[in-house]
């Protein structure tokens, strides 16, 4: 029976992975700490490691895993910017992910953030609880008739665009690999990035973090956005230069920002730091703006998504034990013996 070391786990991970079909085919070790070169020695005896978005699998970490006899890195998420795939390939370590577990979960959370931000639900909720029934400062705008720019029209971006269309918005899209047939059926119009920025009242990011997309939203691109526009980021924190974002908020250039991800979220998000002094000055500053709404990487967090992640990951871990091939869509780096 194969042993799998799980990292950065919470009680809910354990719950869903213990419930997954075929879970009893694996010996599981659940660690609460994250995997990095400092903690990699704890994978001794495991054939596979199962990691999440903030585990850091750089070349040094992968080298140690390889030396310990680990054959597979199974990401229980879609994004894979935290794994050095080139190093994994060179070492002959396979890397797999869950390419789509519930794109609806992420798209719907994006909309939840937008609606809350625009209609000031977060502020209204607190006011009403204190019996303050004043409406001053709570004015929002109709989404109907506005223009939304969707950056990245993969699985999540497409669903988000379709929901935005349901509000009666015009949807512009930018993607280096457009899907023209889908766009035609949904009434979505592809354009270049600069036009999307200047024409949209709301810009929503649904693209992966890559060396090319890092700081896609920087001082220059933020300055191209419509004055008063909203920015939504439920993809990856480093798509946005936080220093430039704070500046755009201070000058009033941006009307509102909703984030489910933050460029320095590692070590903060997913944990309770409520009794501590927050050391991150940029996050502290962001939290002072009344027109900024932040959730701590929870867009994926639905029952359906957690079930699907556990189901697909467990099935792949069992495939490793049985010598069966992984489904092509899961594979980032295949086992060396496979062509
Ligand atoms: P996907 O791979 O289906 O689609 C990504 C799309 O972005 C592709 O169509 C690709 O061509 C496009 N793209 C790549 N580079 C681009 C660029 N420079 N400009 C514009 N478009 C570009 O990915 P999916 O499933 O839609 O996920 C999107 C992102 O959402 C993931 O990469 C991940 O970072 C994030 N995510 C966040 C979650 C959360 O809980 N907050 C959960 C799951 C994913």
Q: Which pLDDT belongs to residue 176? A: 98
Phi/psi region, residue 209 (left: phi>0; alpha: psi -120 to 50; beta: rest), is: beta
Rounded to an integer, what distance in angstroms lies between the CA atom of residue 58 and that of residue 36? 8
State residue 296's pLDDT score. Answer: 97
Q: Does ligand 1 have an atom closer than 6 angstroms to the CB of 236?
A: yes
For ligand 1, the distance from its centroid to the CA atom of residue 175, given in whole angstroms, is 10
User: What's the CA gap between 303 and 127, in Å, rounded?
Assistant: 30
Q: Which of 62, 118, 74, 77 is nearest to 261 (CA)?
A: 77
Residue 308 pLDDT: 96
| Gap between the Cα atoms of 5 and 16, Å rounded | 15
Q: What is the pLDDT of residue 204?
A: 99
pTM for the model = 0.92
Residues 6+ apart with CB under 8 A from 276: none
Residue from 115, 224, 235 nearest 163 by CA? 115
Catalytic residue from among 265, 273, 303, 329: 265
297 part of the active site: yes
Alpha-carbon dihedral sign for residues 264, 267, 273, 276? negative
- Domains of the chain plus CATH, in order, are 2-101+302-333 (3.40.50.720), 103-294 (3.40.50.720)
At 338 the pLDDT is 52
Q: Is 127 a catalytic residue?
A: no
Query: What distance in angstroms lies between residue 274's CA and the mean position of ligand 1's atoms?
Result: 31
Written as tens digits, the pLDDT of the chain (339 aa) is: 899 999 999 999 999 999 999 999 999 999 999 999 999 999 999 999 999 998 999 999 999 999 999 999 999 998 899 999 999 999 999 999 999 899 999 999 999 999 999 999 999 999 999 999 999 999 999 999 999 999 999 999 999 999 999 999 999 999 999 999 999 999 999 999 999 999 999 999 999 999 999 999 999 999 999 999 999 999 999 999 999 999 999 999 999 999 999 999 988 998 999 999 999 999 999 999 999 999 999 999 999 999 999 999 999 999 999 999 999 999 999 998 755
Q: Does the beta carbon of 98 sit less than 6 angstroms from any atom of ligand 1?
A: no
- Predicted pLDDT of residue 337: 72
Q: Decide: 106 in ligand 1 pocket, CB within 6 A.
A: yes
Task: Give the 3-state secondary structure of 240-255.
Answer: ECHHHHHHHHHCCCEE
Q: Looking at ligand 1, which atom is closest to the CA of residue 299?
A: 40
Question: Given this model, what pLDDT does residue 138 score?
Answer: 97
CA of 52 to the centre of ligand 1 (A): 16
Atom of ligand 1 nearest to the CA of 179: 9
Residue 18 falls in the annotated catalytic set:
no
Q: What pLDDT, on the 0 to 100 scale, is given for residue 331?
A: 97
């Amino acid at each position: 029976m194969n042993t799998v070391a799980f990292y950065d786990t919470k009680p809910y991970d354990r719950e869903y992975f213990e419930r997954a079909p075929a879970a009893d085919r694996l010996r599981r070790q659940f660690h609460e700490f994250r995997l990095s070169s400092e903690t990699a020695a704890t994978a001794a005896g495991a054939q596979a490691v199962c990691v999440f978005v903030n585990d850091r699998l750089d070349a040094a970490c992968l080298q140690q895993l390889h030396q310990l006899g680990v054959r597979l890195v199974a990401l229980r998420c879609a994004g894979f910017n935290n794994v050095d795939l080139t190093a994994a390939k060179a070492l002959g370590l396979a890397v797999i992910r869950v390419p789509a577990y519930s794109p609806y979960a992420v798209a719907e959370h994006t909309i939840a953030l937008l609606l809350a931000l625009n209609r000031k639900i977060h502020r209204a909720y607190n006011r009403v609880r204190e019996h303050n029934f004043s409406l001053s400062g709570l004015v929002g705008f109709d989404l109907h008739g506005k223009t939304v720019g969707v950056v990245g029209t993969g699985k999540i971006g497409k669903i988000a665009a379709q929901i935005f269309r349901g509000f009666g918005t015009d949807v512009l899209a930018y993607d280096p690999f457009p899907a023209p047939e889908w766009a035609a059926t949904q009434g979505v119009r592809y354009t270049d990035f600069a036009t999307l920025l200047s024409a949209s009242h709301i810009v929503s990011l649904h693209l992966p973090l890559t060396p090319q997309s890092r700081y896609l939203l920087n001082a220059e691109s933020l300055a191209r956005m419509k004055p008063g526009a909203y920015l939504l980021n439920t993809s990856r924190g480093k798509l946005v230069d936080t220093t430039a974002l704070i500046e755009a908020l201070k000058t009033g250039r941006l009307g509102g920002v909703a984030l489910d991800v933050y460029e320095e979220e590692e070590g903060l998000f997913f944990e309770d730091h409520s009794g501590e002094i927050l050391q991150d000055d940029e996050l502290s500053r962001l939290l002072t703006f009344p027109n900024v709404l932040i959730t701590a990487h929870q867009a994926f967090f639905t029952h359906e998504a957690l079930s699907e992640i556990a189901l697909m990951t467990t099935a792949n871990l069992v495939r490793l034990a049985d010598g069966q091939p992984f489904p092509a869509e899961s594979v980032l780096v295949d086992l060396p013996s496979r062509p």
